[in-house]
Structure 1
């Protein structure tokens, strides 16, 4: 299967975090674990639907290819090149999250502000580097097309989740009246 499963796993994990980011800061409740989990699941659902587009693109390219073995090898090489920058980025995010959960309060807050804040801003650049990695990894135009479609899908999860569920501002009465 090559890099397809790790890429799918990274895409779905990123979608769940994107759903959470779309929700984050929306209300002032102290206990908002259920709302945070719900937002992550919403992002996961949106991401799962959006990630069907690059899968369908890759399948269409394979079905239309004259030499399916060569096309599959090209897509696999491009997928590996796409995976490398994303895996490095995910490792840095994971280390920052571990620091957030393990370190004392002040240090964990610093890990969030210094680590995760800038990392979220770097996401589009990392996706662009992953798209460039498809070509550097030995993939051709077909692999670049799938990479660009996948990158666009991943970057659209947060705005779509926000627009669908969180675009309306919460009023004091609404968030206070919702059950915990």
Structure 2
């Protein structure tokens, strides 16, 4: 690539918009289970939800996907949506909620820079729930580059945050 443009460092991903097969089922997952707030709906075909009153972090719609099956796992498209929690205790609280609800995890990893829980929404879209360790705790290689890894997350240690 010859262009030296760099996106501004403070740029953030503001929201995602998902095609879903059943709006009510998706709202049950994202609002009732994960705790997002419903901000507004567009009839019975779309909804916008957020954390903390933002106009929306997640858009859900059935405009082209009402009743459709999940996308095949071995195809291009969204791998997962990552939802960043402010603190480790917050991640522990959602883990306990998932356990209480009997909602299955598809994985749980320690990446050195973060700890993450993985699950699928009702349309089999991957969802990562995670928190970032403070930047001064991120593992580094001798040359100063990040040394990210994937190790099993100790769920009992995470749940100990609730005591």
TM (norm. structure 2) is 0.22
Pick the structure with more helix per residue: 1
Pick the structure with more strand per residue: 2
TM (norm. structure 1) is 0.21
